[in-house]
Amino acid sequence: MFTIVSCSTISKEIMEVLKPDVPNIEELLTRKSSAFSGIIEPNGAVVGEPLIDEEGIVYADIDLEKCIQPKQMHDILGHYNRFDIFDLRVNTAPTRKITFIDNHEDFNKS
């Protein structure tokens, strides 16, 4: 499986809108190398040139032959499929989009 990573950058205008709720928004979202967009091969290597902290479009040529060997080593239809112990659930209840935890004690209460 090839993985496509698409990470958006945050403009100054968006940060200003968020600032009333998150006063330290610039500190949180202006770290160097915090926005990565790229294509990753089945072996974990990046294909082509990724974008880091930039807006743009990522292009890469992929080799589908690289998917064959990992499929031979991982039995996706065999004993890994345990429907008796694994299931998929989707929580449709309303949630808070951002939760900040100030200290370890607050984290343990969650």
For 90, the 3-state DSSP assignment is coil
Asked if 31 and 24 touch (Cβ cutoff 8 Å), the reply is no
- Average pLDDT, integer, range 91-110: 72
pLDDT reported for residue 9: 72
> How far is it, in rounded angstroms, from Cα 72 to Cα 78?
12
Strand partners of residue 38: 5
The first and second tokens of residue 75, run together, are 């039995």
* pLDDT tens digits, 32-53: 777 889 999 888 889 999 998 8
- Between 98 and 109, residue with greater pLDDT: 98
pLDDT for position 77 = 62
Looking at residues 55-79, what average pLDDT do you find? 76
How many whole angstroms separate alpha carbon 9 and alpha carbon 54? 7
Is residue 8 within 8 Å of residue 35, measured between CB atoms?
A: yes
Q: How confident is the model at residue 59 (pLDDT cuts 50, 70, 90)?
A: very high
